[in-house]
Structure 1
Amino acid sequence: MEPVLMTSGPYAGRHVLVLQPEPDEHEVFPFLRLPAEIRNMIYSLVLERPGHKLYIYGKNSGVINTLWLRDDGAPRVQQHYSSSLMRVNKQINVESIPYLFSRHTFDFSDSTMMQKFLEHIGPERIQSLVAVHVQKQFRTTMRKAYQLLSPAVSLSELKLFSSLYHPYYNTAFLWPNALLPLVQAWCTEGGRSREDVMSIISMPGAVRGFCDQHGSFCNKQLTVCVQKECAYDEFYKELREEIFKSMDLVEAKKQAIKSGTPVKTRAGRKTKAIDYSGMCGDEDEN
């Protein structure tokens, strides 16, 4: 290394030797040797943003952008944030996942971005999600997006918004079909009751109507209105009945096939389950 001539400061005119020491391979900080409690404190300090939600947005190009927003609706706050710690190795990734995915609300601009994001992070990370908001719904992606959310059996809040000026605003008739796989998974794999699953799902903006005193139901700020509450109660009642009816039909078909009872297919033909038990033993006897 060659000396450097200082041009300013107390050492101006002098030649100095600048050393940039690098740690030896055997002197790397033993992070995984720290007690689990200390590692968890570090994960929390690096990955948690109390009072903020993670907004996921992008364009049709497939680029996924993220932005931290305050939960109280205040203007966007730009903060330096890095999740590189999660990519150090597999053990650190597994240990740190809850501090990002279980500590924040994930707010998606639309169902398409939700589908792309869930496909990107995979089922293991989806399991850690506890709160999800979706602003707009596209009929082309909403069913697939909510089907991908099925592993999130610990989810405690699923808030589905609809935009008044969106071309696919009237999606009420699509909800039973879109949510059926999700509700089925949470009931069977998550061990939840049907009513418990439906209680965590809310749909602000899903019902259109008008009150002479309060105005349009579509106003997200409108919270106290008897007519709006009645309209939403009726909407949720019909939604539950439609989903539960579909679940009962699916369960009935499974039981019928299991018992060998003929079941009508989509084409109208009847099929019957075949019992293969004992066939291996028949060959031995011959």
Structure 2
Amino acid sequence: MDKDLGYYAHRFRTLRVNINRGVTPYQPLLLLSVIELIGQNYIQENKIYLTPELVSLFVKYRSQLSPSHYQADLAQPFFFLSRVKNAFWHLKAKEGKEAVLDSGTRLNSVPLLRRNIDFAFLDEDLFDYLKSPISKNVLVSTLVEKWFADQLKRVEKLIGVNPFDHISYSDFDPGIERQLPLASELDVNSYKNAIEAVRDTTFRKNIVRLYDSRCAFCHLRIISLDETNIVDGAHIKPFSKFKDDTYSNGISLCKNHHWAFDHGWFGIDENYRILIRQNWLTESASQGTKLMREYHGEGIILPHEDEFLPDLGALEWHRQHWKIA
């Protein structure tokens, strides 16, 4: 393939949106609509027509995920998505209307589009990625994490599935060429790395967001002007072993306590209280600094919504693995 999955994930994160009336993510909404129609096999070839089905899906997403004070119609993203540098969305003019499209005329209304445009089409590479369930999930996750991260529950209901469900790597087997649009083992490895990078970034950013960018252990919250965060989204059971990226397998920890948790210096009990590993640490501190063992028995910070609480089974696994009483 000429362009890999990481390239399109980056393009999805850097779409052009109107900020004059607040962020109005109509291009992401259009892409979500198209992706849903591809997933339903309604769009089977790389031709995207202005059908009632596409319009209705766009309106569904727009009504739930876009600011209510300004509602653009489908024509604007349908046209302007083709007018960016290195566009992956292209327009095919109707016969005899090529000059209109080439002239740069703004076809930013549905009647104008219907009179002049036959259909839109995607880069072939991107269309192939969207037909594969694995790469489609990566790209949907990228869209949602970037443009609708503060509306996760609403997006889940609209899409019908959790777009951040972890991606299973069991699909990466010797027969991968039959499932993914890749031609060689080197491509498979590159593809897997791209998926893992997007997956890891998505998981960590959203775990931190669920905890208001605070360390669940010490409550530290520091964010720089360039939005670098001292807090990490940590896995309770390691992803390398369990392949579990569900939010309940995550917890927000500053870098010191993330390291300490991963090395079994402390655990968390069934009541979400901190358990310092006994007789394991020798500590000293300057005046005014709290020792780690002084946190023993304190409750951690928790997400506001119960469905995102740390999984008690995962916490028990961590305690048993590190022999934390």
The two structures have a TM-score, normalised by structure 1, of: 0.29
* Higher share of residues assigned helix: 2
Structure label with greater radius of gyration: 1
The two structures have a TM-score, normalised by structure 2, of: 0.27
* Higher share of residues assigned strand: 1
